[in-house]
């Protein structure tokens, strides 16, 4: 452990405080596992030390030093701590789609690495040659965010471009993506849910569509993802509703478009997940006027 490292204080908050990026270097013992969650921004996770696995959707990765995880918006993810008595060290970069677009050009989309990982359902980059390049850039960018020296803003921007250019170049040609531990039936369930998110997704319907016993499917899904089918579908619909609100749709339309049949259920679930009502979220983040539902 480098004594010069200024650790970022970890909090339970999973919300960004800026409209660009947040870069944190964490080192914790007795780490408390966070419930499965998703973001509306991109997350780059770099694992340094500890004993843990990481679950993204239904993919589980046993982490090694130098592992990089690329997590697109809307994908459920969660750490699975194996031994909390050991130091758990990692660097986490959160970056908004809007800011990543400003770093890109018409010919080079730096968000492509996240898109490719999402499409392939392979979120892990395990290649020490990539880690050897990315880790020093992340460390330098983090130190620059702490130092606030002349030119650090430009230095960080250059480093972020280097990082994502390297990751995009790698994911475009990587020969054998790390798929992680998963089960085909759960993958099929997740694919079906993604394609029919606003339709009837009761356990009976899913089991019938996948030709599986509903009790077997329910147990297997929870074992693989650490959430129940109901919780998974609810979180996916809430993430979709948040996206619609940010696009400025009226709340009543958001409720219907996101697959909720009952506004009261939508209201309570949204407030429980995001700490504010749909109407409050609409007033803070809605792009167009629209008529928000009462708070």
pLDDT value of residue 2: 43
- Distance, in Å, from the CA atom of 135 to the CA atom of 153, rounded to the nearest integer, reads 19
- Distance, in Å, from the CA atom of 274 to the CA atom of 278, rounded to the nearest integer, reads 9
Arithmetic mean of pLDDT over the chain: 89
Q: In which order are the strands placed within the sheet that holds 77-81?
A: 59-62, 52-56, 77-81
Residue 292 in this model has a pLDDT that exceeds 60: no
Q: What's the pLDDT band for 30 if we cut at 50, 70, 90? A: confident
Residue 40 dihedral angles phi and psi, to the nearest 5°: -105, 20
What is the rounded average pLDDT of the residues 20-37?
A: 87
Residue 130 dihedral angles phi and psi, to the nearest 5°: -70, -45
- The per-residue pLDDT for range 19-28, each reduced to its tens digit, is 999 999 999 8
Q: What's the pLDDT band for 6 if we cut at 50, 70, 90? A: low
Secondary structure class of 94 (helix, strand, coil): strand
Q: What's the pLDDT band for 62 if we cut at 50, 70, 90? A: very high
- Distance, in Å, from the CA atom of 289 to the CA atom of 295, rounded to the nearest integer, reads 16
CA 38-162-27 angle, to 5 degrees, is 50
- The per-residue pLDDT for range 151-188, each reduced to its tens digit, is 999 999 999 999 999 999 999 988 666 666 678 888 89
pLDDT value of residue 50: 92
pTM: 0.82
């Amino acid at each position: 452990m480098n004594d010069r490292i200024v650790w970022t204080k970890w909090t339970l908050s999973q919300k960004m405080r800026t409209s660009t990026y947040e870069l944190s270097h964490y080192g914790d013992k007795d780490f408390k596992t966070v419930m499965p969650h998703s973001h509306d921004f991109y997350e780059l996770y770099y694992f340094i030390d500890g004993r843990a696995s990481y679950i993204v959707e239904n993919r589980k990765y046993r982490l090694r030093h130098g592992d990089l995880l690329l997590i697109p918006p809307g994908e459920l993810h969660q750490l699975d701590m194996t031994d909390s008595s050991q130091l758990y060290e990692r660097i986490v970069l959160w970056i908004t789609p809007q800011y990543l677009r400003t770093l890109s050009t018409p010919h080079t989309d730096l968000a492509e690495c996240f898109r490719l990982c999402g499409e392939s359902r392979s979120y892990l980059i395990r290649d020490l040659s990539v880690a050897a390049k990315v880790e020093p850039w992340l460390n330098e960018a983090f130190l620059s965010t702490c130092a606030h020296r002349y030119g650090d803003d430009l230095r960080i921007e250059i480093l972020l471009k280097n990082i994502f250019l390297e990751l995009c170049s790698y994911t475009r040609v990587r020969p054998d993506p790390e798929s992680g531990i998963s089960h085909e039936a759960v993958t099929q369930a997740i694919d079906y849910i993604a394609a029919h998110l606003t339709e009837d997704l009761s356990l009976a319907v899913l089991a019938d569509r996948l030709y599986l016993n509903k009790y077997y499917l329910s147990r297997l899904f929870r074992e693989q993802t650490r959430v129940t089918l109901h919780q998974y579908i609810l979180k996916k619909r809430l993430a979709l509703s948040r996206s619609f609100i940010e696009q400025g749709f009226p709340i009543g339309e958001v409720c219907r478009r996101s697959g909720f049949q009952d506004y009261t259920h939508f209201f309570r679930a949204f407030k429980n997940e995001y700490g504010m009502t749909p109407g409050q979220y609409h007033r803070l983040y809605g792009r167009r006027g629209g008529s928000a539902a009462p708070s």
